[in-house]
Amino acid sequence: MGVMSNLKAKFMRKYSVFICIVLISAHATFAGESPKIDSLKNALNLAKHDTVRAGITDLISFYYSRINPDSGLHYAKQSLEFAQKADWIKGEALAYMELSLNYRSKGKFSEAVTAGERGLALIESSELYTTISALYHNQALCYKAIGNVAKATSYYLKAYKLEQEHGKPSNEAIILENIGNAHFEAKDYLKADSFIRKALSINQSLNDTYGIARNYTNLARVARAKGNLDQAKEWHLFSLKLNWQKANLYSAQVNLGNLGLVYLDKKQYKLAIEYLDSAMLMAKQVNNQPAYYIAKGNLGMLWLDLANQLDKDRLGFSRDHCLSQARLFLEESCSTLYEHQYNDPYLEFSDVLCKVYSAQNEYEQAYNLQLKRNELHKRLQQDNIRLGEESLEIERRALNQLRELEVSNLDLKIERRNRIIISLIALTILINAIVAIVYWRKRNKLNKKRLEQIAQLHSHNIRGPLCRIMGLIDLLERNQCTPEEQEFIMKGLDKSAKQLDKVISDIIFTSSEDKKSV
């Protein structure tokens, strides 16, 4: 506890009494299960509706994911059953996410990805943006865990886009930070640093102490990986200070463990042992089983490193004592990590344990452990291949659906275009019909008027010669005319007859021309 006391004195003088109370209460309450879990179980016993039961079991599963993923899986399956009974689609999607989360905690990444995809299939086309974003984020963490940074980043970016459009800035910061962590796992430290700093900028603008502390922890990890140990130590200490202020023991335990590794890299073994011991103690207090056994494994690595130093640098310990300590910590760590399928840390620490066995001339044990490691490697590779095949199949189905959608959209566009063309043709015909009707009506009216005018004109032209002829005939019938007068009348009749003939010819000609024009 020396390191913790020094930290309290250095960072938390006015909070020292408060921190001690928190540590004591943490030890008391986390000796069993989380009080939140106990409270939720009591609420579950009182719940009467399946929707409420689904929500409560979902939360229980979430809290178990860090401390007991086997129990987490049990409650996630219960949550799924309750949600299906209640026909609550969002609840089903959340239950699949908890299944994925607990499978991921156990290192079963193929099952984790499959569960996440089932959740997405239920709601991806809905407007449940927060839940969709969470599922995208979860899928990204699964792919990051198996080293598929490209796939992880694609899911992170989907989640980031949704958060930008419908979410909160604090969620954007978490996603940016996790993109940075994915690049960190891929050893692309420049991109990792860039994304984490973007997240830090958002959290600073929001005055989010928890987010700022987490960002500095990850920046310190990047600095350590780049060999900048002093910078890493400074940032871990700053993050630890913020976590102390908020009594965030879970994250403070992470800081202590990371500081132990920094001091191990600096070959400052005494400080490294104190910090790793403190991290192990606090992990036990907050009931973080994976962190507890990872801290044990790190202590085993430290003791092996110490065993390989010169006598004067071993803090007064013999080489055999250092190897024995390394073996003690590593065997307990590897046994539990393997049992609970925390595969990544198991593979790392079991490799170190093989070296310890070899250093102690325990070659048979080293050989048997290596066979066990190889078997696990092979199984994980098969899982990754199957996961890759499932991922390809999912992508293939998504691509086919996209193509079907594109074809449907094209058919719809063609149908709409044809409807528009038919409508335009019908409209054109209608307009032409209306124009024709209006034209014929006007033409008929005009023709009627012209005919009336022609009739009046022809009537006038005919009446003149006809009246003269009738008058002259009347004079001849009286027999009172002289031969000279009769000759004059005959000439007048002849002239009038010719005029009448001409008028009739003109009428016939005009009528034929009008007929042609019509």
Average pLDDT over residues 5-10: 44
Q: How far is CA 273 from the centre of its chain?
A: 43
Average pLDDT over residues 432-454: 76
**Alpha-carbon distance 54 to 61, whole Å?**
11
**Alpha-carbon distance 107 to 145, whole Å?**
9
Could you tell me if 120 and 104 are in contact, meaning their C-beta atoms sit under 8 angstroms apart?
no
Whether the predicted pLDDT of 351 surpasses 50 = yes
- The CATH fold assigned to 401-517 is Helix Hairpins (1.10.287)
pLDDT in tens, 258-304: 999 999 999 999 999 999 999 999 998 888 888 899 999 999 999 99
Most confident residue range from 134-138, 398-402, 448-452, 493-497: 134-138
**Alpha-carbon distance 431 to 390, whole Å?**
60
Q: What angle do CA 386, 387, 391 make, to 5 degrees?
A: 115
Calculate the alpha carbon distances from 65 to 24, 77, 232, 452 in Å: 24, 13, 29, 103
pLDDT averaged over every residue in the chain: 82
* Residue 99, SS3 per DSSP: helix
What DSSP element (H or E) covers 474? Answer: helix 363-477
CB 440: neighbour CB atoms within 10 A? 11
Domain limits of the chain?
401-517
Q: How confident is the model at residue 243 (pLDDT cuts 50, 70, 90)?
A: very high
CB 493: neighbour CB atoms within 10 A? 18
Pick the residue with more confidence: 200 or 165? 200
Average pLDDT over residues 160-172: 84
Calculate the alpha carbon distances from 423 to 416, 419, 435 in Å: 10, 6, 18
Pick the residue with more confidence: 75 or 387? 75
pLDDT in tens, 184-236: 988 899 999 999 999 999 999 999 999 999 999 999 999 999 999 999 999 99
Supply φ then ψ for residue 86, to 5 degrees. -85, -5
Provide the b/e sequence for 234-255 (b: ≥16 CB within 10 Å).
ebbbbbbbbbbeeebbbbbbbb
Could you tell me if 301 and 326 are in contact, meaning their C-beta atoms sit under 8 angstroms apart?
yes
Pick the residue with more confidence: 494 or 277? 277
Provide the b/e sequence for 12-21 (b: ≥16 CB within 10 Å).
beeeeeebee
Quick one: pLDDT at residue 298? 94
DSSP category for residue 33 = S
Calculate the alpha carbon distances from 30 to 43, 73, 81 in Å: 20, 21, 29
Q: Alpha-carbon dihedral of residues 6, 11, 15, 16, nearest 10 degrees?
A: 0
Q: What angle do CA 207, 177, 161 make, to 5 degrees?
A: 95
Average pLDDT over residues 95-99: 95
What is the number of helices (H) and of strands (E) in the chain?
20, 0
pLDDT in tens, 10-41: 433 333 222 232 332 333 333 345 678 899 99
Quick one: pLDDT at residue 56? 94
User: Of 254, 263, 264, 261, nearest to 218 (Cα)?
Assistant: 254
